[in-house]
Structure 1
Amino acid sequence: MAVVMVSGTGTEIGKTVVTSALAAAAVAAGRSVAVLKPAQTGVGPREPGDAAEVVRLAGPSVTAAELARYPEPLAPDTAARRSGLPTLAPAEIAEAARRLSADHDLVLVEGAGGLLVRFDEAGHTLADAARLLDAPVLIVATAGLGTLNATTLTAEALRARGLSAPGVVVGSWPEEPDLASRCNLADLTASSGLPLLGAVPERAGALPPERFRAAAPTWLDASLSGTWSAESFLTTWHPPAPLSLL
């Protein structure tokens, strides 16, 4: 997979940290990596954005690229209109990803929020860019209550558009998961029809970069250049028996 889109089921769910882990694991496996953030919102002109955060965590060998930046933390289309700046078309995203893929083994394209967040006045989304590239879309989901619906809707939206999804990565696995989180591990696959391909611990982004890079492969499945095992993880966090059986 030369180009992989990374889309969340919402905002603030660990998408950038997962992108960083994907980059770090790929670099550790000997691959050259670029990360593309098409639209960065809510960040000032001289502040580091999500692409810079990926480089900080995954290492300086990762190439970072950003196409548009809008100051307000809103959907790209809304943020662009409010700031008077041009919106971003899917063709621009696809072309930038193609250029990066010419001299990188892996290009990670990190979306803004969820899959169907609007990028322009015509209502184009990350899914439209993925279709132009025929690129798979990795879904980053939350662990807790509500994630089954959001993840399944995202998976259905991808299928309806003829797009492939390799699987789901939990963006922030709690240190002390509640019952819903533990049940969701097994139910995510059944509900979405997609395999679970990783779980990144909460606050992983606060680790020193060297520790983050060393640990990243242990959070991801072998298909994502990692050593993580869904079977072992599910066994470790198997939910307790129902009350009726106690």
Structure 2
Amino acid sequence: MTRYITVTGTDTGVGKTIATAALVSYFRAQDVDVVAVKPVQTGVRPDEPGDAAEIERLCGPGAAQELTRVEPALAPETAARLEGVDLPTVDEHVERIRALDHDVVLVEGAGGVLVRLDREGGTVIDIATRLSADVVVVTREALGTLNHTALTVDRLRADGLDPVLVIGSADPDPTLEARSNHTDLPRLTGCRIVGHVPAGAGSLPPGDFRRDAPSWFT
């Protein structure tokens, strides 16, 4: 039976793609057949590499695939509306994801949990619910993360989901606020921190990334 894991974030730019790539490497190190899926990619032209290509650059061929893209660097629904194009519905994405034959399928969302992925109001929460997926929330360690993370976790739990946390860009020499947040995030949200992806991890040579990434998770 396939295990589904959705990777979402407290905000855009928190490190979801690199965390997803790190999870691919983590599972591959255990000889698990894994693939990452990006249902909707925005902010890249048709001939430009997106998040799935970045995951493949770091993890190797076959690591990721993209289902659809819209060029404006906006939330998917907004980008599609401005372009006057349709988007696959969340249900259509789920059908394609379920058709994948892998032990683990990682589904990387866009932005935060309430960002609309289609023109019917579907979100990554709907994907996670339909797939009975585990949920990983990528968050920051900096000031402001407690509020953003708590709001995200509360919204996920309102839909019956029980997330875990990954620090998306962990400073090797954390400040007092970062160290405090490492303690306070699980204390205040009730969620375990299961990973710390180092700041700048995406700039590592791919071989080093694949070697080191499994050690970033507990």
User: Shorter-normalised TM-score: what interval?
Assistant: over 0.9
1:105 aligns with 103
Query: Does 2:210 match 1:219?
Result: no
Partners in 2 of 1:177 and 1:164 — Cα distance?
27
Note if contact 1:38-1:110 (Cα within 8 Å) is conserved in structure 2: yes
Partners in 2 of 1:147 and 1:122 — Cα distance?
29
Deviations, residues 110-155 of structure 1 (Å, cap 9, x unaligned): 0001011012333221101111111111110011001111111111
Query: Does 2:176 match 1:179?
Result: yes
| Letter matched to residue 162 of structure 2 | S
2:27 aligns with 26
SS in 2 for 1:18: helix
Note if contact 1:135-1:164 (Cα within 8 Å) is conserved in structure 2: no
Q: Report deviation, 1:88.
A: 3.1
Query: Does 2:53 match 1:52?
Result: yes
Note if contact 1:7-1:111 (Cα within 8 Å) is conserved in structure 2: yes
1:86 aligns with 86
SS in 2 for 1:144: coil
Q: Which has the larger displacement, 182-191 or 79-88? A: 79-88
Written as runs of structure 1 = structure 2, the 5 A alignment for 1:60-209 is 60-62=61-63, 64-100=64-100, 103-165=101-163, 167-209=164-206
Partners in 1 of 2:65 and 2:55 — Cα distance?
11
Matched positions, count: 217
Q: CA 1:27/1:61 → structure 2, altered by over 3 Å: closer, same or farther?
A: farther
| Letter matched to residue 19 of structure 1 | T
Question: Greater Rg, structure 1 or structure 2?
Answer: 1
Q: Report deviation, 1:90.
A: 1.4
Deviations, residues 94-113 of structure 1 (Å, cap 9, x unaligned): 1121111xx21110000001
SS in 1 for 2:80: helix
| Structure 1: runs of 5+ lacking an equivalent | 222-246
Partners in 1 of 2:177 and 2:83 — Cα distance?
40
| Structure 2: runs of 5+ lacking an equivalent | none
Cα root mean square deviation, aligned: 1.1
Q: Report deviation, 1:164.
A: 2.7
Partners in 2 of 1:87 and 1:149 — Cα distance?
32
SS in 2 for 1:190: helix
1:230 aligns with none
SS in 2 for 1:27: helix
1:6 aligns with 7
SS in 2 for 1:26: helix
Note if contact 2:14-2:140 (Cα within 8 Å) is conserved in structure 1: yes
Note if contact 2:86-2:119 (Cα within 8 Å) is conserved in structure 1: no
Q: Report deviation, 1:182.
A: 0.8
TM-score (norm 2): 0.96
Partners in 2 of 1:88 and 1:112 — Cα distance?
15
Note if contact 1:111-1:126 (Cα within 8 Å) is conserved in structure 2: yes
SS in 2 for 1:127: helix
Partners in 2 of 1:178 and 1:70 — Cα distance?
38
2:42 aligns with 41
TM-score (norm 1): 0.85
Q: Report deviation, 1:61.
A: 4.3
Partners in 1 of 2:174 and 2:80 — Cα distance?
38
